[in-house]
Amino acid sequence: MRPADPPGTGPRTATRKITVTIPEDFLEEIRSETTERGMSAYFTEVLRLKRKRDRLRELVDWLEEEHGPVTEGEHTAALRELEDLDTEHDRRRTTARNHPGEDP
């Protein structure tokens, strides 16, 4: 069974062919890692991620306007928390790999 497509990317999603211009060396780098059909999926995913990042930047700008900029201490604490989460996720993946069927 194949995994579900992300919203707006399934086989019934309307699409339109467009033309874009990118540097040749960059195109060759991407082309070497994808198939022709995979390039459309690759660019779609990249554009979705860029759009999400832009929207997140808008949220950060708004929050900083409302509450002031993030302090160095808050930034450091947030990075530390993300590292802790990554460590926990790695631990759970390892546990799941070594003990399939058990709750991590």
Over the stretch 3-29, which tens digit does the pLDDT of each residue have?
A: 566 656 666 789 899 999 999 999 988
> What are the structural domain ranges in the chain?
19-68, 71-99
Specify the DSSP class assigned to residue 44: H
Q: At residue 60, what are phi and psi to the nearest 5 degrees? A: -60, -45
Q: Which residue has the higher pLDDT, 9 or 61?
A: 61
Question: In degrees, to the nearest 5, what angle opens at C-alpha 83 toward C-alphas 79 and 85?
Answer: 115
Asked if the model's pLDDT at residue 56 lies above 60, the reply is yes
Output the pLDDT for position 10: 62
Asked if residues 84 and 77 have their Cβ atoms less than 8 Å apart, the reply is no
Name the maximum alpha-carbon separation found in the chain.
Answer: 50
Q: What predicted TM-score, i.e. pTM, was given to this entire model?
A: 0.59
Mean pLDDT of the region 54-65: 96
